[in-house]
Every structure is written in C-alpha cells, then in structure tokens.
Amino acid sequence: MIIHKFSLRHIGLLLSLMVLCPPALSPAAALQRKDEKIAADRAWNPAPDADDLMLPMPCGGQMVFRAVSVPGKNPLYDKKFTMGVHTLADPGREKYERARDGHISGPFTLEDMPARWREKLRGRDSGNFYYYFIAKYEVTRWQWDAVMREECLKTPVMKDMAKPVMGKSWFEMQEFMRKYMIWLLANHKDTLPVYKGNDKDIAYVRLPTEEEWEFAARGGLSVPEENRNQEDFHPLGDLSKADFGVFSTRDRILEAPSVIGSRHPNPLGIYDMAGNAGELAQSSFRFSIPDMGEGGRTVVPRPHGSAGGLVAKGGSFRSGGEDILPGKREEVALFNENGPVAARDLGFRPALGGINTPASAGRMEELRMAELSLEEQQSPATRSGARTPALPDGAVKINPSGELAAELDKIIQATSSPVVKDNLEQYRRMVADYESAAERREDAEILSGLRSLLYHIEGQRNAGARFSYLNLIMQQPGADNPAVTERNRRSMRDWKIVLNNMTNNYKEGLSNILKKARGGNFAPYFAQLRNEYNSDDLYSRHMRENLAALEKHLQQIRLRGLKSLPGEAIWKDVIQEKTLKAIMKVR
C-alpha cells in the first residue's frame, strides 16, 4: 500500500508537470504542425543549389528543375538502363515490375537552352549530351494555388502550404500545367528552352514518362552504371532509405506527408522521389511478360500489348520501405464509378519536354545524318546529298575494302532493271539499319571496356597497397627472424608476379580498346564516366584518379605505340612512389 500511495502521488505530480511543461516535439512531429509559418520560398525551393534551373511562377514563386543528361552522338542515340526490381519481396508482382531494359534520351542540347541554364550545365558536362528536365520537388499546395486560384497568398505562409498537393485527378494536373504554360508564354517565354534555329518549337511542362522518372530517381549519370543497373535503390553511403524517403514502417504509420525537401536529395539533387506523395507518370501501365530473346536461347521481359491506366511511381507516406524503390509501380485508373480518380496520397512532379522533330533545317539535317552509319556521314557524296554517278551495265568495279553502303550504291546506280534496283534499294536500307545498330552496340562495348580497364587499374593499385603492407611488416621490431623474413619476401615476389600479370592484361586491354574506337576519340566516353564518378566518396575519388591515368595511357600508346608504355611507367601513375621503390627492389 505504501508503494501504491507513493506511485499515485508521483503520477499526479508528473501529470501536472506534463500539462505545464509539455514534452518537446520530435523533428517528425514538428514537421506536421499546421500552425507554423514559414518563408514563402520554402514552399518551392527549401534547399537551393548552384545547379538549380528555375522557371518563374505567379506570385513571385518558382518551379525548380534539375537537368538530366544522357550521352548521345545524335538525336537518335539513346541509353539503355535497367528498370524494375531485381529482388521482389512478392514473386507474384513479377508481371508488374520485374527487371527489364529501358531506354532514355532527351530532346534538348546546350544550344537549345537559355543562356543562364547553358552556363550552369557547360561547367558540369563536357562531351555530347542530350537533356530533359524534371522538377526538383513535388508540386506543393502553394504552387498549386498560385496557378489555379490566380491569387497570391500573404507571406509568410503556413507550413502546410509546403507539402505536396495531393488528391488531384489526372485531368486537374493537366489543367494546372496548361494554365502554367499559358502564363509562362505570356510573361516569361525567354526563360524556356527553345530549339536552335526555330523559336516556334519550345519546351513545355508535362508529366514525366516512366523512363524519365525512373532514370532520374536512380540518380542518372551521377551514379556509376555498375551500381545503377544492379541495385534497386541509388547508393546510400552511410545513410539509410529512411534518410531519403518519407514512408511508413511497422512501428510508425504516417498519417500525412512531410514538407518538400525534408530528407536528403538523391545523387541528382532531386528530393522526395521515395515516398511522401506518390507521383503520376505520363505512361500507360502495361504488364511485363517473358518473351524469347535473340535466337530463342534466352528469355527477356517485354511490355504486354494491353495499355491500361497510368503508372504511379515512388510510393507515398502510406507505403512501406519495399514500395518506395524506383522500380516499383502501380496502376491508376483515369475514372472509376464515381468519376475521375483522385487518390488522396497521389501528387505529381512535372518535367520539361519538347517535340522530337522541330521544324528547323539544321535539326532535320541532323536527323537525316543520324540515320546513316559513321562511314556514310563522313562520305562527301552523302554530305552533298548525291549518290555515286550512274555507270553503264557491267561497268561496276567493286572495292573489297570499301565502305559497304558506298559499294552498294555503285551497283544500284549501274542497274538498269527497275525491279532489281528497287530490291537493292531495300537491301541497302537494311544494311544501313544494321550498321547503325552495330555502331550503337560498339559504343556500348567500348564504354564497358573502359570501365573494365578502370577496374584493372584499381587492381594494380590494390596490389601496390599489399606491397606497402608487407614492406611495413618487414620494418617492424622482431621482423628480423629469418623464417619470417623469407616468408614475407616470398609473398612480395608472388605479389610482384600478380602485379606483372595484371599490368600485362591491362596493356592488352588498352590495345584492344584502341582497335575498337574509331579514330581513337574517347572524349564522349570519358565525359560520361566523369559524370558517373563525381561523388566525394573514396570509391569515386579512386575511379577519377584511375580515369586520369587511363586517359594518359591511351593517349600515349595511340601516339607512340604500346612498347612506349612499360609496366613500370604504368605503376608510377597508380602506385605511391615509396611503395614503387620497394616493388622495384623485389627480385
């Protein structure tokens, strides 16, 4: 009883204190306070970045975009990447999101952009890139009201206005983008990308395609390809998915989204692509079904023929941790029995797109040349738009080492039969398609080969680290034991053999990659790799150093031959000087 009275007395005191001094709100709870006021710019860009690309909005606001760069030699190039989920918690969802190939590109080049955007991106990217743009944040309630209500709110604004707008149908989202574009064209047309040579074809706001959304969510070129294609989330570093996404767990069921930008950005500097609000894409939902691959030897996924509702990506605050992966997807109907569908946890994130065939002479010529193989593009006859002059029947002289399409032209021009000429013309188009596809595959093989060489350099670097460790051990007190010394020396000899073999294999790879690259121009590939390894972590720093060494070695053997690059010269570029001296002493 004494304990019981003591407990009641202290419980009463505790309750009184809690009323007088309520406990501090947790950060998560603080985000949900509805009566807090914030500066208006936190409702459209709470985490400004130097690379942000801005478009004005009514009421002094902004829509902030991030540029997504895609390597390409011409408008018809695109990049293959892995979509979907590798490890499905529910095997029954294979038809929804099994891992499959996607292809991505963009309609714009640097020359198509406003000067302010061009300068920002020129400092970031070097090489041949095409671009599309995706919003840095989900559209907020403040942005929605600024466009749809056409009245400006007083500042500061309520914190709830910085949360994503949700519960809107596809039709309402389209109306928002329609009204916003009309306002932009009337007031700030000069802030939009415009195709070079034709100011009538201009960038416009729309929903992103599923490929655009997922490539950006995975980190785009800011993530090494080996990670982007093999992992179901972008690299986390020392963080967890909870540091990037707003989602529910077994212990914490969320009832509402957070304000935009409340978590860390992904590697492209984009926020809230994991959870918070689900996001609608401009793509029809199709099942993924298995099909026979090349030669019937492999099974590959392909989209099913029935186009259903729209695709929703990213999960929401109501989703679990497995449902916020970039490859996850849900189907959203346009209508149900009650009318247009408007899910209470579904929002959207605009993209800036453009048409693929802008009506400018320069663009049309660029598209025409893109259909040709590299040899055809370099041919004077092709550049002038003329074919080989006609020859009399029987007067054709084929050059066995000539370019295939040019030799076919000789036969076509010298053929008098209309039927044969027509068949040969069809065959020539087949050859041109094959060569164009082969050139793309060759580009992919070169990029893969360069990545392999970077790992060869990393292997040599690691072998050097092993040498450094053994050399340090031999200098420690007590290391003068003859048996121990001999064992360590034997290990160093073995590791030198390993290093020599690694280096010889690396040199063989250098020779092979030079045979594949036309004219030895590796600049576009190096530009893409520099984008992928631009982080500050140890792995990316090593890869950038390896890339610098690889560029140097390729340049040297291209100019002076493979014999001009002995193993010791390679080691000097990748192994510390002190360690290198120890290696050279090993016999």
In this structure, are 144 and 240 located in the same domain? Answer: yes
Most confident listed range (96-100, 193-197, 201-205): 201-205
- The pLDDT score that the predictor gives to residue 473 is 77
Counting residues of the chain whose pLDDT is more than 70, the rounded percentage is 86
Q: What is the CA radius of gyration of the chain?
A: 30
- The pLDDT score that the predictor gives to residue 393 is 52
In this structure, are 512 and 480 located in the same domain? Answer: yes
Q: How high is the mean pLDDT of the chain?
A: 85
Strand partners, 133: 67, 352
Is the pLDDT assigned to residue 101 strictly greater than 80? yes
Q: Give residue-wise pLDDT tens across range 505-540.
A: 999 999 999 888 766 788 888 988 988 898 888 899
Tell me the C-alpha distance between 124 and 532, whole Å. 12
Q: How confident is the model at residue 127 (pLDDT cuts 50, 70, 90)?
A: low
In this structure, are 411 and 486 located in the same domain? Answer: no
Whether residue 2 is contained in a domain is answered as no
Higher pLDDT, 119 or 166: 166
Residue 383, CA atoms < 13 Å, CB-side half-sphere: 6
Whether residue 239 is contained in a domain is answered as yes
Tell me the C-alpha distance between 276 and 140, whole Å. 12
Counting residues of the chain whose pLDDT is more than 90, the rounded percentage is 51
Residue with tokens 């550049």: 383
In this structure, are 94 and 194 located in the same domain? Answer: yes
- The pLDDT score that the predictor gives to residue 20 is 35
Whether residue 449 is contained in a domain is answered as yes
Higher pLDDT, 2 or 468: 468
Q: Which of residues 290, 318, 353 is at a domain's end?
A: 353
Of 136, 133, 127, 139, which Cα lies nearest the Cα of 113?
133
Q: Give residue-wise pLDDT tens across range 396-446.
A: 788 877 777 777 888 888 888 888 888 888 887 787 777 777 778 888 889
- The pLDDT score that the predictor gives to residue 34 is 56
Whether residue 7 is contained in a domain is answered as no
- The pLDDT score that the predictor gives to residue 479 is 59
Q: Which of residues 353, 387, 409 is at a domain's end?
A: 353
In this structure, are 201 and 343 located in the same domain? Answer: yes
Report the pLDDT averaged over residues 540-567.
Answer: 92
- The pLDDT score that the predictor gives to residue 27 is 39
- The pLDDT score that the predictor gives to residue 123 is 66
Q: Is the Cα dihedral 509, 370, 353, 171 positive or negative?
A: negative
What is the domain extent for residue 59? 27-353
In this structure, are 313 and 422 located in the same domain? Answer: no
- The pLDDT score that the predictor gives to residue 171 is 98
- The pLDDT score that the predictor gives to residue 28 is 39
Report the pLDDT averaged over residues 87-100.
Answer: 86
Report the pLDDT averaged over residues 23-29.
Answer: 38
Whether residue 413 is contained in a domain is answered as yes
Please indicate, yes or no, whether the overall pTM of this predicted structure exceeds 0.85.
no
In this structure, are 318 and 389 located in the same domain? Answer: no
Is the pLDDT assigned to residue 455 strictly greater than 80? yes
- The pLDDT score that the predictor gives to residue 403 is 74
Q: How confident is the model at residue 270 (pLDDT cuts 50, 70, 90)?
A: very high
- The pLDDT score that the predictor gives to residue 548 is 94
Q: Give residue-wise pLDDT tens across range 354-376.
A: 998 877 667 767 767 766 654 55
- The pLDDT score that the predictor gives to residue 570 is 92
In this structure, are 455 and 415 located in the same domain? Answer: no
- The pLDDT score that the predictor gives to residue 23 is 38
- The pLDDT score that the predictor gives to residue 478 is 64
Q: How confident is the model at residue 262 (pLDDT cuts 50, 70, 90)?
A: very high
Q: Is the Cα dihedral 154, 159, 165, 166 positive or negative?
A: negative
Whether residue 308 is contained in a domain is answered as yes
List the CATH number of the domain containing 45: 3.90.1580.10
In this structure, are 101 and 245 located in the same domain? Answer: yes
Q: Give residue-wise pLDDT tens across range 554-564.
A: 999 888 988 89
Reported residue count of the chain is 587
- The pLDDT score that the predictor gives to residue 192 is 97
Q: Which of residues 295, 320, 353 is at a domain's end?
A: 353
Q: How confident is the model at residue 545 (pLDDT cuts 50, 70, 90)?
A: very high
Most confident listed range (106-110, 125-129, 210-214, 447-451): 210-214
Whether residue 15 is contained in a domain is answered as no
Tell me the C-alpha distance between 293 and 314, whole Å. 30
Tell me how many domains the chain contains: 3
- The pLDDT score that the predictor gives to residue 388 is 46
How many Cβ atoms are within 10 Å of 539's Cβ, its own excluded?
A: 13
In this structure, are 280 and 132 located in the same domain? Answer: yes
Whether residue 6 is contained in a domain is answered as no
Higher pLDDT, 300 or 255: 255
Task: Determine the Cα angle at 374 with ends 449 and 519, to 5°.
Answer: 55
In this structure, are 460 and 428 located in the same domain? Answer: no
In this structure, are 451 and 415 located in the same domain? Answer: no
Q: How confident is the model at residue 292 (pLDDT cuts 50, 70, 90)?
A: confident
Let me know if 26 is exposed, middle or buried by CB neighbors in 10 A (0-12, 13-18, 19+): exposed
